[in-house]
C-alpha cells in the first residue's frame, strides 16, 4: 500500500498546493488574490500555570498546541478525504500485512537554523515522543523506529495496522537530534520563534519552509483563560482570530459585518460512556433504553446552541467510511421504559453521572441528560469533578460518565483505541469477540467494507457509547482574515496558508 502526493491530488502538484488543500480554507480567493504581509493576532485558550514548551510534552493548553504546530512539523496532518495527508513525510508505503511502514521525508526540509532534516532526527524525535508520552501518542515501540537511509524512516508494529499514517498526525513533531532544551524552539515548521512576552508568543515567517513560505509576516498567539475572555477580545477587535471560541461568541458575532464565524463540522463529540462489563448498565437492554430516552435535537440546541448536528452512537462521524445507512435513533419514551422493565432495572435507586468541565458544554450536557432520562424513570445525580480527579478516580471505572473527543474522522481509530478488548483506554469496558475480529480484519485490510460496516453495526447495537451529537468548532475572526481552516478538531491549527486582506 502506498500513499503519495499524486494519489492525494491526482496530479503532480507541489507541497504548497497540497497544504492549501489540507487546510480547507474558507474561500481565500473570493475577494481577490492572496496578499503577502501583516501580523495575524490569534487568541487561544491557555493557562499560564500549565504552559508547556516541550513539543513532546502534555500540551494541554490550546495555545501551546497551536504554537507547537506552527514551529514544528509532524509527519502527517489531517485532510478531508483522505483524512490524512503528507507533511514532513512526503509519502509512505507499507508491506502487504501493514506491519512495516516506510515514511519518506520531504525534499529540502530544513530546521530553522538551516540544518537539513535527516531520518536520524525523525527517529530520535519519535523515540523521544514514545518515551515521554507513551503508546497513547505513538503506538510503536521505541526500538521499532529505525532509519532506512538518510531520508526514510521505518516503523514496525506488532499487529497489522492500516491506520498508522493517521496515528502519526499532529503530535509527531520533529526536533533536532539530542535536543532537550526547547527555549529556542528550533523546528522545521512554517514559522520561527521571535519572542515570548508574558502570555503572548510572536512567530515570524519561515521563508525557507519546504512547503512554500507563508504569506503572513508573523503570527502572535495570546493565551486566554476562558472562552468568555477569548470571545470578548475578538468582539472588541483586540485580536483577529479567536480559535475555538465557542457557541456564545459565535452567536454574538453572527451578523456583524466586521466579523466572520467559521463553523468546523464534526469538531467535538459529547456523549456518555456506559460501563458494559458490570454494574447497573451492563444489560444491553438498559443501554438501549438510555439511547432511546434522550432527545438528541434538544441536546444540540441547548448545549451547542444549534451549532452542531445529532449523532447516532457510533464514533467517527467525520470518516468517509462512516455508515450513514444505520437508522437514525430518535426518542421513544414508551419503548425505553419497557426495556428497563424487561431488564428488571431498579428505578427506585439513584445513580451518579460523573462529568468534568473539559469540553465546552460538557457539564451542561450532563445536566440536560439527567433531566431527560428522568422521564424514563432513571434517577441521575450529576457529580462534577476536577479534571485531574476525574482521570485518577472515575475514568475507565465509573458506571456512567461524560466523554468528549475531537478530530472525529476515523471509525477504525476509535474502534481500536476505545472499544477493542485489549485497549488500555477502553472507556466502557467493552468486550466483544465479534467486534475484535471485525476490527482486526479492517486494520489488516482497509478496503474491507464489510468489516468496517460490521464493527459499526456492533457499536450501534450493543456498544457502550451514547453519542448524541457533534459540536461544530466555532472560530470567530475579523472579516479581513482569509483561508482559515474549516476541518474539525485540531486541524484548526493549520494556519500556514492564512492571509490578511486589505
Contact 484, 244 (CB under 8 A): no
Examine the pLDDT at 4 and tell me if it is beyond 70: no
Which grid coordinates are listed for 462? Answer: 450493543
Q: For residue 136, is pLDDT > 80?
A: no
Tell me the mean pLDDT in the region 381-387: 94
Averaging pLDDT over each range in 76-80, 213-217, 261-265, 471-475, which range is the top one?
Answer: 213-217
CATH 3.90.76.10 fits domain 77-179: yes
Domain ranges of the chain: 33-72+189-258+479-502, 77-179, 266-472
**From CA 248, how far away is CA 227, in angstroms rounded?**
9
Contact 259, 235 (CB under 8 A): yes
Percent of residues, the chain, with pLDDT higher than 90:
75
Single pTM value for the model: 0.84
Render 42-111 in DSSP notation, one character per residue.
EEEE--GGG----TTS---SHHHHHHHHHHS--SEEE-SSSSEEESSEEEEEE-TTS-EEEEEEPTT-B-
Beta-carbon contacts of residue 34 (< 8 Å; ≥ 6 apart): 28, 215, 482, 483, 499
pLDDT tens-digit map of 411-430: 998 998 899 998 888 999 99
Q: Distance (Å, rounded) from C-alpha 335 to C-alpha 223?
A: 48
Phi and psi for 2 in degrees, rounded to 5?
Answer: -135, 135
Name the band, by pLDDT with cuts 50, 70 and 90, for residue 167.
confident
Could you tell me the CA-to-CA distances from 100 to 94, 159, 446, 453 in Å, in that order? 5, 10, 15, 26
Q: Lowest-pLDDT range, 301-310, 322-331, 406-415, 434-443?
A: 406-415
Fold for the domain defined by 266-472: Dipeptide-binding Protein; domain 3 (3.10.105)
- Tell me: pLDDT of 323 over 90: yes
Give the mean model confidence (pLDDT) for residues 260-286: 95
| Banded pLDDT at 130 (limits 50, 70, 90) | very high
CA distance 176 to 164: 23
Class of domain 33-72+189-258+479-502: alpha beta
Give residue 30's pLDDT: 52
Q: Is 301 helix (H, G, I), strand (E, B) or coil?
A: helix
Three-state SS at 243: coil
- Residue-wise pLDDT for 291-304, tens only, equals 999 999 999 999 99
464 with 276: CB under 8 angstroms? yes
> What is the reported pLDDT for 31?
58
Average pLDDT value for residue range 450-463: 97
Amino acid at each position: 500500500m502506498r500513499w503519495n502526493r499524486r494519489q492525494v491530488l491526482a496530479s503532480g502538484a507541489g507541497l504548497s498546493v497540497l497544504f492549501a488543500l489540507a487546510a480547507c480554507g474558507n474561500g481565500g480567493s473570493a475577494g481577490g488574490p492572496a496578499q503577502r504581509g501583516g501580523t495575524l493576532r490569534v487568541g487561544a485558550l491557555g493557562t499560564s500555570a500549565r504552559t508547556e514548551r516541550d513539543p513532546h510534552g502534555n500540551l494541554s493548553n490550546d495555545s501551546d498546541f497551536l504554537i507547537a504546530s506552527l514551529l514544528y512539523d509532524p509527519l502527517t496532518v489531517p485532510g478531508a478525504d483522505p483524512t490524512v495527508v503528507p507533511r514532513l513525510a512526503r509519502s509512505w508505503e507499507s508491506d502487504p500485512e501493514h506491519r512495516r511502514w516506510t515514511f519518506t521525508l520531504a525534499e529540502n526540509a530544513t530546521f530553522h537554523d538551516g540544518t537539513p532534516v535527516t531520518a536520524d532526527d525523525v527517529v530520535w524525535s519519535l523515540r523521544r515522543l514514545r518515551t515521554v508520552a507513551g503508546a497513547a501518542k505513538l503506538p510503536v515501540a521505541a526500538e521499532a523506529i529505525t532509519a532506512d537511509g538518510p531520508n526514510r524512516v521505518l516503523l514496525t508494529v506488532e499487529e497489522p495496522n492500516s491506520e498508522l499514517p493517521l496515528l502519526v498526525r499532529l503530535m509527531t513533531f520533529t526536533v533536532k537530534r539530542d535536543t532537550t532544551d526547547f527555549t529556542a524552539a528550533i523546528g522545521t515548521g512554517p514559522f520561527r520563534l521571535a519572542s515570548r512576552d508574558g502570555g503572548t508568543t510572536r512567530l515570524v515567517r519561515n521563508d525557507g519552509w519546504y512547503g512554500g513560505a507563508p504569506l503572513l509576516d508573523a503570527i502572535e498567539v495570546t493565551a486566554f483563560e476562558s472562552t468568555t475572555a477569548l470571545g470578548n477580545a475578538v468582539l472588541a477587535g483586540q485580536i483577529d482570530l479567536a480559535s475555538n471560541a465557542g457557541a456564545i461568541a459565535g452567536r454574538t458575532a453572527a451578523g456583524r459585518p466586521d466579523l466572520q464565524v467559521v463553523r468546523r463540522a464534526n469538531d467535538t463529540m459529547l456523549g456518555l460512556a456506559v460501563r458494559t462489563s458490570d454494574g447497573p448498565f451492563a444489560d444491553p437492554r438498559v443501554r438501549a433504553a438510555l439511547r432511546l430516552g434522550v432527545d438528541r435535537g434538544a441536546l444540540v440546541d441547548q448545549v451547542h446552541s444549534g451549532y452542531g448536528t445529532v449523532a447516532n452512537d457510533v464514533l467517527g462521524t467525520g470518516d468517509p467510511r462512516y455508515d450513514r445507512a444505520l437508522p437514525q435513533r430518535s426518542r421513544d419514551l414508551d419503548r425505553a421504559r419497557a426495556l428497563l422493565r424487561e431488564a428488571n432495572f431498579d428505578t427506585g435507586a439513584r445513580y451518579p453521572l460523573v462529568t468534568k468541565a473539559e469540553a465546552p458544554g460538557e457539564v451542561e450536557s450532563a445536566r440536560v441528560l439527567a433531566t431527560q432520562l428522568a422521564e424514563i424513570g432513571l434517577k441521575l445525580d450529576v457529580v462534577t469533578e476536577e479534571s485531574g480527579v476525574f482521570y485518577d478516580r472515575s475514568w475507565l471505572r465509573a458506571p456512567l460518565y461524560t466523554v468528549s473527543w475531537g478530530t472525529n474522522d476515523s471509525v477504525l481509530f476509535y474502534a481500536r483505541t476505545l472499544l477493542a478488548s485489549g485497549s488500555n483506554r477502553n472507556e466502557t469496558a467493552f468486550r466483544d469477540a465479534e467486534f475484535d475480529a471485525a476490527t482486526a480484519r479492517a486494520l489488516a485490510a482497509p478496503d474491507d467494507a464489510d468489516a468496517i460496516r460490521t464493527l459499526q453495526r456492533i457499536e450501534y447495537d450493543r456498544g457502550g457509547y451514547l453519542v448524541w451529537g457533534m459540536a461544530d468548532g466555532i472560530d470567530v475572526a475579523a472579516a479581513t482574515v482569509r483561508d482559515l481552516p474549516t476541518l474539525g478538531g485540531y486541524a484548526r491549527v493549520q494556519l500556514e496558508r492564512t492571509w490578511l486582506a486589505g
